[in-house]
Structure 1
């Protein structure tokens, strides 16, 4: 069997184990057995448990970013359509790879340098979302101050909400598959939450607290 195929099997087994048990509790014996290889072969290919976990995180980061970028690649469409495409691609990917989502979530607490790589992924996605929201504000005729002052905050809120919604949707699916929302339904929930607020901002209709 080609090395790349066998290594993919190892990573698939490791992602499932790390997602289910966490880094510390995941067993290299169980990973090797699930991959259909010997434990020495896992160490030969991936050197250590830490290196195996790092390889899993990097693979899932690459796959997630590629899915989002692919979703927003269509040109000649409005910024909101691009954002919709990107969110739909994001939720389709996270629904198809729930173990990968769980591994990335666990990786945030693993310390350097793993947490730094996950943070860099979020920055890349945040930059893309910020650009789309800024373009939407510009298309709506907003002044530059709004884009600079508020769009960045909206982008952070949207990305954080997307991560939380992905975990929620996967939990729903795990509990009852036929009741889980589709990727488009989840994306529509977030678009309604975000886009309605952005539209009000572009029209100058900001929420303010009542005087006390």
Structure 2
């Protein structure tokens, strides 16, 4: 028996779930580093330590394998952010926790983030739809936090006027900034998750605070 590069052992009988996880890990690594078009099923099989026919037996096709990778990585990122947030905290602390978890997860799983942020978005349906669903969930969550902040400000005696469209637009901008910052962190390699989260909080939330106090920028 010979061990594969991904830690699998040819000829060893493993539970199906374990074998599938090995193949998925190898696929995420390969797709993230090589790209969807260039990555081959043979390369993925070699990294997982299994035969190429076994990959097809378990996961049917390259397209279905990539879709499964996108779904798995999206679920993991959503769960990481969701589980980090205590809904009993004020809106700004919830956003801080979510951003820190987002930047931590993307740094610890660079191949998964590459699959979601670069590969899936550039190859059309059904891959892009999977990522869009994840992003829509994040935008909705951030918009709800902005709405909570507006309510908190109103309770404090201010009179903010934020329409649903304003909150959604601000949430879209904040999520887009987080995605861009995560990509920059990946290239830079020296910025911690907490520093990245603090940068975005200072950029977005401090400005939002002014907006909730009734300050609006206008072109003159």
TM-score by length of 2: 0.89
SS at match of 1:146: coil
RMSD across aligned positions (CA): 1.3
Task: List structure 1 runs of 4+ shifted beyond 3 angstroms.
Answer: 142-145
SS at match of 2:122: coil
For residues 75 and 133 of structure 1, the distance between their equivalents in structure 2, rounded to whole angstroms, comes to: 13
For residues 31 and 131 of structure 2, the distance between their equivalents in structure 1, rounded to whole angstroms, comes to: 16
Q: Which structure shows the bigger proportion of residues in helix conformation? A: 1
For residues 136 and 10 of structure 1, the distance between their equivalents in structure 2, rounded to whole angstroms, comes to: 44
Contact residue 98 and residue 170 of structure 1 kept, 8 A: yes
1:129 pairs with 2:142? yes
> What runs of 5+ residues in structure 2 fail to find an aligned partner?
1-13
Contact residue 84 and residue 97 of structure 2 kept, 8 A: yes
TM-score by length of 1: 0.92
Q: Report the number of matched residues.
A: 203
Alignment match, 1:93: 105
Contact residue 137 and residue 147 of structure 1 kept, 8 A: no
Deviation track 1:61-102 (CA, whole Å, cap 9, x = no partner) reads 100111111122x13211100110111111111011011110
> What runs of 5+ residues in structure 1 fail to find an aligned partner?
174-179
Alignment match, 1:40: 53
1:117 pairs with 2:127? no
The structure that has the greater radius of gyration is: 2
For residues 147 and 171 of structure 1, the distance between their equivalents in structure 2, rounded to whole angstroms, comes to: 37
The offset of 1:143, in angstroms, is 4.8
1:20 pairs with 2:33? yes
User: In the TM superposition, what are the counterparts of 1:54-203 in structure 2 within 5 Å?
Assistant: 54-72=67-85, 74-105=86-117, 106-141=119-154, 143=159, 145-173=161-189, 180-203=190-213
